[in-house]
Structure 1
Amino acid sequence: MDSIILIIILIALIESAFKKVDIFNEFIEGVKEGSKLLMTLFPTMMAFTLWVTCFQSCGIINILELFFKNIFQFLNIPIDIFMMMIVRPFSSNGSLTVLNNVFLKFGVDHPYSILGSIIQTGSDTTFYVVTLYFGSIKLQNNRYALKLGLWLDIIACLLAIICFLLFIN
């Protein structure tokens, strides 16, 4: 992999020499443009990070776990899967951590692991996407994007559970 990166850099240097492009000044201009984008996105991403941290540490996840525990026991699905469904719209890494715990507890070939994998790939980090993309263009009114994204996440999770109950379990 390192040699591929070296080859790409050498090709860029050779091409810039043939085209007589000042590669250092172009690099500096690219860094300036990237810095402008960073300054545009930083406040939005900082607010999102703070919000997710507050959500995860306020205890609402534990309350939801207690509320839905009987339903998931009835369906014969571990509560970890529900926790993954709750965390997924906020944080990809958080849901991957829960999925990894399911893998460690049951093994990667277990039906619960397959269900978790389907939920991980079938749903999205809706709040992150809305925050990043709408924040980058400074759009204040996201209209139906957040509602639609969350509904699609719910539908993806429900379909995964239905398919799990019908075909896998």
Structure 2
Amino acid sequence: MNTIAAISTFFLPVLVGVILVYALIKKTDAYGAFTEGGKEGIRLSISLLPFLLGMLVAINILRASGFLDAMNQALSPLLIWLSIPPDLLPLLFIRPISGSASLGMVADLTATYGTEHFISRAAAIIQGSTDTTLYVLTVYFGAVGIKKMGRALTIGLLADLAGMTVAILITIWYFT
């Protein structure tokens, strides 16, 4: 067994042991704190469910209604002029909304075009270069009760746009 494997095998038990020893030194009820943390985690999970459900319903409505296909057809000439393959548009639209939906789109594009195609590579770089801004704002801001999120939304979407633009430019620069 190599050194890294040996360290990784014992890391978690040693970490738990260190925490327990520290709790003993500080005379803290480690088990009580652990169970309180578990209760708080369950309460937080339950409070997140309505926001998560709302996002999933919205995503499914967009996909089932054909909105993404109509938007793709309407914007195709502009995308072609900008040297962006129109097949990337649904990903560019869905990525700020849902990580799992966009990951499914990346997988579909990769299965359709193969791993060596420009579209597949650009999709993978976009997936890694951007975040699920609307999801983060809806779920996490909603869970802690933040109501005014206009500036955070603007900055998050601008960051996503910058990440997508740079991802496409890097794909063009590196792979062509």
TM-score after normalising by structure 1: 0.76
What amino acid does structure 1 have at the position aligned with 2:49? F
- Structure 1 residue aligned with 2:155, among 124, 148, 151? 148
Q: 1:39 to 1:167 in 2, by over 3 A?
A: closer
Q: Shift of residue 59 of structure 1?
A: 1.8
Q: Aligned pair count? A: 169
The 8 Å contact of residues 80 and 98 in structure 1, kept in 2 or not, is answered as: no
Gaps of 5+ in 2: 1-7
Paired residue for 1:29?
36
The 8 Å contact of residues 89 and 125 in structure 1, kept in 2 or not, is answered as: yes
Sequence identity, in percent?
A: 27
Q: Shift of residue 96 of structure 1?
A: 1.6
CA RMSD of aligned residues (A): 2.9
- Between the aligned partners of 2:26 and 2:151, the Cα distance in structure 1 is 47
Paired residue for 2:45?
38
Q: Deviations over 1:23-67 (max 9, x none)?
A: 322222112222333344333223222222222222211212332
Gaps of 5+ in 1: none
Q: Shift of residue 162 of structure 1?
A: 4.6
Q: 1:168 to 1:133 in 2, by over 3 A?
A: same
Moved over 6 A (4+): none
Q: 1:14 to 1:155 in 2, by over 3 A?
A: closer
The 8 Å contact of residues 122 and 157 in structure 1, kept in 2 or not, is answered as: yes
TM-score after normalising by structure 2: 0.74
Is 1:133 the counterpart of 2:140? The answer is yes
Paired residue for 2:5?
none
Q: Deviations over 1:87-132 (max 9, x none)?
A: 1011112212222233333443433333222322232211111112
Secondary structure in structure 1 of the residue aligned to 2:150: coil
Q: Shift of residue 138 of structure 1?
A: 0.7
- Structure 2 residue aligned with 1:4, among 1, 11, 23? 11
